[in-house]
Amino acid sequence: MADLIINFLGIKSPNPFWLASGPPTDKKINVLRAFEAGWGGVVWKTIGTPVQNVSSRYSSLNYSGRKIAGINNIELISDRPVEINLAEIKEVLKLFPDRAMVVSLMADNHRESWHDLVKRTQDTGAHGLELNFGCPHGMVERGMGAAVGQDPEIARMIVEWVMEVAEIPVITKLTPNVHSVVPVGRAVAEAGSGGISLINTIQSVTGIDLETLVPNPIVSGCSTFGGYCGPAVKPVALKFLTTLAQDPVTSHLLLSGIGGIATWRDAVEFFLLGASGVQICTAAMLGGFRIIEDLCEGLDDWMDEKGYQQISDFRGLSVPKITRWEELNLNYKVVASINQDLCIHCGLCYITCEDTSHQAIVLEKGLPYNTYNIKEEDCVGCNLCKIVCPASGCISMIER
């Protein structure tokens, strides 16, 4: 049997699935339900100077009749007093001492503020701290959140302040609202952060109400840029994760992967690209805490099938396989192949190739249906026909 236990900077948890800082980790009752369901750990929703949140707060991007490709939120950090949050953290730790308890923190840019918040949080018995350098809305205007994560020197300074008093592991959460996370990643690594978590949400507008002409979510006739998360952001998260795993300065750090993880397969992809643990928020908000059962069972079965005993056995194995474009083999060639026994004769492959690609599919009209065949001499192996084909396994790419 595979062993799903992880040790992240000395923080142990029975499985690698933590709830990310957000609405599901905002209060004691939520976290207790999560631990009862089987989650390995949580990152408590960011605490700091209490704020007032707005109503409404969320909007979604729906695509092709399907909910939900992604969620946009304009929610800020915890709107409850720090004292209440810290008291509840202490109570949860007594009931579930075997689960990872990391607390997300955000203070203004003064050494004393960070020192005070870190010390008070440590007094709860929490296992680790996560510094929120990623929130892309609301807090940015106050010089916090992503405003810190976008400036390597400010990020370095704050981590140095934290490390002056930190007695438990420190993880720094980075924003994706930058060209590259490597400069900030290097800065916090050099300042002493033991781990990095990423990504936080991406600044966005998900859509506009065409009756009122106000972007969603609507707050008394207005809106604002929000933070985008959910399945649609996974490719961005994997890219940023890989750049840190490849960088010589940050590659030695433990990385906690966040962004669009909804299934055990998603989690495996994050592990293969360098993550030592993963954090999930949107999927739990949409499906409830019981999704942890499928996450653990699926990961366990896959590891057994592959012969892996623990996550470290396959962590990072895909990182060397991502290289620079100019190092790719220009002599490698694949062409499409259509399995006529599986074809449902919908014609999507033909339409997309004929209109937007390389006219490499021949349509042969007939009764009761048309058939489609590949012109290998014209096929460039772009994968478009395979991507649009609705019949699983019908189109494959064959090496030539």
Q: Which domain holds residue 364?
A: 329-399
Using omega within 30 degrees of 0 as the cis cutoff, is the peptide bond preceding 374 cis? no
- Give the per-residue pLDDT at 47: 97
- The CA dihedral of 106, 102, 174, 108, to the nearest 10 degrees, is 10
Residue 97 has, within 13 A of its CA and on its CB side, a CA count of 2
Mean pLDDT of 244-272: 97
Tabulate helix, strand, coil % of the chain (nearest 5).
35, 25, 40
Q: Is residue 155 part of a domain?
A: yes
- 192 touches 218 (CB < 8 A): no
- 350 touches 325 (CB < 8 A): no
Q: Identify the DSSP state of 396.
A: E
Annotated catalytic residue, options 135, 281, 353, 394: 135
Q: Domain check: are 342 and 219 in the same one?
A: no
Angle of CA points 340, 387, 397, to nearest 5°: 60
Mean pLDDT of 285-312: 98
Which domain CATH number covers 344? 3.30.70.20
Question: Which one of 304, 321, 338 terminates a domain?
Answer: 321
> What are the b/e assignments for 340-358, b being 16+ CB within 10 Å?
eeebeebbbbbebbeeebe
Q: Domain check: are 159 and 88 in the same one?
A: yes
* pLDDT of 156 higher than 80: yes
Q: Domain check: are 352 and 302 in the same one?
A: no
Q: Rounded to a whole number, what is the distance in angstroms from the first to the last CA of the chain? A: 40
Question: Which one of 294, 321, 348 terminates a domain?
Answer: 321
The Cα 5–Cα 15 span in angstroms is 5
Q: Domain check: are 310 and 350 in the same one?
A: no
Mean pLDDT of 338-363: 97
Other beta carbons less than 10 A from residue 23's beta carbon = 17
- 385 touches 336 (CB < 8 A): yes
Six token digits for residue 362: 């021949």
Q: Domain check: are 87 and 236 in the same one?
A: yes
* pLDDT of 238 higher than 90: yes
Which domain CATH number covers 92? 3.20.20.70
Identity of the amino acid at 369: Y
Beta-carbon contacts of 294 under 8 Å, excluding residues fewer than 6 positions away, are 263, 264
Three-state DSSP class for residue 134: coil
Question: Which one of 270, 289, 321 terminates a domain?
Answer: 321
Q: 95 vs 24, 35, 43, 98, 309, CA distance in Å?
A: 18, 10, 16, 9, 29
Q: Is residue 274 part of a domain?
A: yes
Residue from 72, 57, 60 nearest 219 by CA? 57
Q: Domain check: are 81 and 143 in the same one?
A: yes
Q: Is residue 147 part of a domain?
A: yes
Q: Is residue 191 part of a domain?
A: yes
Average pLDDT, the chain: 96
Residue 224: pLDDT band by 50, 70, 90 thresholds?
very high
- Give the per-residue pLDDT at 142: 76
Q: Is residue 1 part of a domain?
A: no
Q: Is residue 344 part of a domain?
A: yes
Q: Domain check: are 287 and 349 in the same one?
A: no
Q: Domain check: are 197 and 92 in the same one?
A: yes
- Give the per-residue pLDDT at 154: 94
Residue from 388, 385, 340 nearest 358 by CA? 385
- 205 touches 42 (CB < 8 A): no
Residue 297: pLDDT band by 50, 70, 90 thresholds?
very high
Comparing 1-5, 259-263, 300-304, 332-336, the range with the smallest average pLDDT is 1-5
Q: Domain check: are 268 and 286 in the same one?
A: yes
Mean pLDDT of 208-237: 96
- Give the per-residue pLDDT at 143: 81
Beta-carbon contacts of 300 under 8 Å, excluding residues fewer than 6 positions away, are 1, 2, 4
Q: Is residue 355 part of a domain?
A: yes
Q: Domain check: are 235 and 339 in the same one?
A: no
- The CA dihedral of 381, 383, 385, 386, to the nearest 10 degrees, is 120
> Quick check: is 135 catalytic?
yes
- Give the per-residue pLDDT at 1: 79
Comparing 134-138, 192-196, 279-283, the range with the smallest average pLDDT is 134-138
Residue from 246, 399, 239, 248 nearest 329 by CA? 399
Between 398 and 64, residue with greater pLDDT: 398
Q: Domain check: are 277 and 358 in the same one?
A: no
The number of distinct structural domains making up the chain is 2
Tokens 């942890």 — which residue?
292
Residue from 174, 193, 170, 194 nearest 183 by CA? 174
* pLDDT of 137 higher than 80: no
Identity of the amino acid at 322: I
Residue 139: pLDDT band by 50, 70, 90 thresholds?
confident
Q: Domain check: are 253 and 376 in the same one?
A: no
